[in-house]
Amino acid sequence: MAREKANSQKKKMTGKKAEAPAVEQKAAPVKETASVKETVPVKETAPVKETASVKEAAPVKETASVKEAAPVKEAAPEEKKEEAAPAKEAAPAKKAPSARKKAAAGEKEKKAAPAKKKAAPAKKKAAPVEEKPVLVEEAAPAVEEQPAPVEEAPVVEEVIAVESNLPRRSIAFIGSECHPFVKTGGLGDVMYALPRELARLNCDVRVILPRYACIPQEYQDKMVYRGEFYMDLGKTGRNYYVGIMEYIWDGVVYDFIDNQEFFSVGNPYTNLVDDIPKYCFFSKAALAALNYMNWIPDIVHCHDWQAGLVPVYLRTLFKDSPVGRAKSVLTIHNLRFQGVYNIPTIQYWSGLPNEVFEMGALKQNWVDANMLKGGLAYADRITTVSGTYAWEIQTREYGEGLEEHLRYHSGKLRGIVNGIDYGMWNPETDSALAENYGLGNVLEHKMANKLALQRELGLEEDTGKFVIGLISRLTNQKGLDLVNAIIPQVLDGNTQVVVLGTGDKQYEDAFRYYEGAHKGTFSACIQYDEARAHRIYAGADALLVPSRFEPCGLTQLNAMHYGTLPIVRETGGLKDTVEPYNDFTGDGNGFTFDRYDAGLLLDAINRAKTLYFNNRYHWDEVVQRDMAKDVSWENSAKQYKQMYLELTQW
């Protein structure tokens, strides 16, 4: 609020770039909240709890032999739509402001007495006037039983062959997190790594992010004021401040959308009541900022539900503005989170025309609006982060209620598997490690990292032990109830387990319990710690990823690149990136199991142990094979580039 007042005293901005002050000028003073931390706070990673319709995956089968499991409650609460949603039928204008807790006070004042509204004079808005929306397709009837075959990724050789001639394209990435500014999971990694790789492929990339207060000060200090304007939002009757702070780094431009009212809370995600207005604002402001900067991309590439409204805005309110000529791509990183609320509230905050609240677009279950669903309907292309997940999400088991919608749009859906950034993840140069190593000397130096890890975590220092790591958000998605059920059997005297993660209390408590019960052999690091994660990838022998579902998964890729063998469930990207070890041929990258079943996970761990203890020579072969495996972004970025080119053949 203070910021808005200060800004309103500044000279009037027209919403056009001419007024942007000299580059060195610092932004309108950022309120230095005491809570600005040095590290990105990553407590709750599961952004919101929603989708009432989420299907339960197959329940964990209790193996008869499970003894002494720590008390973990039923692992489903994250799926409940628990928010105090305003009554659906009520008039939105009354509802929405009361729904939004934090900004509420100021909001209400303005709402109650609109005449008093600060003479935030009708600044020329960056957003164009509402236009007739494009027609919304009707959802297809539920006829198909099988998912439509997912378009295969283009053959890489072809792409490589034309690499040097790839024409330039400009891409605006729009998403809610990006390493190293703010990261709660793999989305942050992708938003960092993919633009950098695309820049190498002759793309001009701009990443548009919210300017959260939790972005470390070191980066806040590097941002340069790029301009500001005011924008209306939905039916709020207000003009909102949109500041643009810019940071150019390694060929990628980062533009942070500044508005203290929406982004001053510590964590990026809080609850739907706050997050729905926040990301309506962000999606609209991102497009308005592109117009304001007069930087019109060929492609607007949006990520997850937080940017789900961008394709919808692009084809409605922004249709006849300069950015309206861009094509849009929407990438699903995690279908579980969709941004669902009652229609009046989303109408109120988004200001989108009635036509988009149809069953073919945002509307679902006849009463709710689903921001991701709308984006999927309007995007020119939909991608997700592995081929298997692209197939799975068209099934009832993994579709999170959107399977029919996705089957309907399957013609524009494809899977492109994630990679990892070899600059960020490189055991040869990683400054967090006790000893650096590469493919040539992993066998000598990995042991030193194991010992250092055991020392750091207070585990028995013995290189002969088999060390299993788990680095994860502690949520229902990640298969932690399976892990919890078998820990007593895994800890056989020759095995140690290290868990690094934060999340649902029930899992945190369970792992703390095991640490207490098995001092020296079980370590529970209930924290978010990047450097420690690197040391676990390097020091462990194997890494567990037994997920219930996993769109791609990055931890198994990091692990392989550090010579640590993954033990994974065959789902989503885990299935696509980890080939099961074959006892007869010696082929493969890790150990896998298929059904979501604690006994099968235990069996996979035992197969890994058997190879490790009985046949170290072959184990070491797999270590080296995994380190040599190409898990970089190179091939996948080429597939994205190819898709951008397909979309923009002029």
Size of the residue set binding ligand GLC (CB under 6 A): 14
Minimum gap (Å) between residue 547 Cβ and ligand ADP: 8
Instruction: By CB under 6 A, name the one of 186, 387, 427, 501 that touches ligand GLC.
Output: 186
Q: Does 372 bind ligand GLC (CB under 6 A)?
A: no
| DSSP H helical ranges for 151-259 | 156-161, 186-200, 217-220
Q: Does 385 bind ligand GLC (CB under 6 A)?
A: yes
Residues 6+ apart with CB under 8 A from 442: 427, 563, 623, 624, 627
Q: What 8-state DSSP symbol labels residue 178?
A: B
d(CA 107, CA 235): 12
Minimum gap (Å) between residue 430 Cβ and ligand GLC: 20
Q: Does 569 bind ligand ADP (CB under 6 A)?
A: no
Minimum gap (Å) between residue 184 Cβ and ligand GLC: 8
Q: Does 502 bind ligand GLC (CB under 6 A)?
A: no
d(CA 490, CA 476): 21
Minimum gap (Å) between residue 307 Cβ and ligand GLC: 13
**Which residues within the stretch 488-507 sit at the binding site for ligand ADP (CB under 6 A)?**
500-502
Instruction: By CB under 6 A, name the one of 189, 261, 368, 421 that touches ligand ADP.
Output: 189
Q: Do 517 and 488 meet the contact criterion of CB atoms below 8 Å apart? A: no
Minimum gap (Å) between residue 501 Cβ and ligand ADP: 4
CA 326 to mean position of chain CA atoms:
23
- Token look-up 């609209």 returns 284
Binding mask 530-559 for ligand GLC (x = CB under 6 A): --------------------xxxxx-----
Residues 6+ apart with CB under 8 A from 628: 439
Q: Do 259 and 281 meet the contact criterion of CB atoms below 8 Å apart? A: yes
**Residue 316 or 334 with smaller CB distance to ligand GLC:** 334
Minimum gap (Å) between residue 229 Cβ and ligand GLC: 32
Alpha-carbon distances, residue 191 vs 18, 183, 421 (angstroms): 30, 9, 11
Q: Does 554 bind ligand ADP (CB under 6 A)?
A: yes
d(CA 78, CA 26): 41
**Residue 185 or 234 with smaller CB distance to ligand GLC:** 185
d(CA 268, CA 214): 8
Tokens representing 417? 């598997």
Alpha-carbon distances, residue 325 vs 207, 214, 299, 307, 318 (angstroms): 18, 34, 9, 18, 9
**Which residues within the stretch 314-353 sit at the binding site for ligand GLC (CB under 6 A)?**
333-334
User: Applying CB under 6 A, which part among 229-237, 347-355, 404-412, 465-473 lies near ligand ADP?
Assistant: 465-473
**Residue 50 or 107 with smaller CB distance to ligand ADP:** 50
Instruction: By CB under 6 A, name the one of 243, 268, 479, 553 that touches ligand ADP.
Output: 553
Q: Does 566 bind ligand ADP (CB under 6 A)?
A: no
The reply to whether omega before 580 is within 30° of 0 (cis) is: no
Q: Does 590 bind ligand ADP (CB under 6 A)?
A: no
Q: Does 511 bind ligand ADP (CB under 6 A)?
A: no
Q: Does 506 bind ligand GLC (CB under 6 A)?
A: no
CA 610 to mean position of chain CA atoms:
36
Q: What 8-state DSSP symbol labels residue 32?
A: -
Tokens representing 70? 């720590």
User: Applying CB under 6 A, which part among 206-214, 229-237, 387-395, 552-560 lies near ligand ADP?
Assistant: 552-560
Minimum gap (Å) between residue 549 Cβ and ligand ADP: 10
What is 551-566 written as a DSSP string?
A: SS-SHHHHHHHTT-EE
Q: Does 524 bind ligand ADP (CB under 6 A)?
A: no
Return residues touching ligand ADP (CB under 6 A): 45, 185-187, 189, 471-473, 500-502, 528-530, 533, 552-555, 558
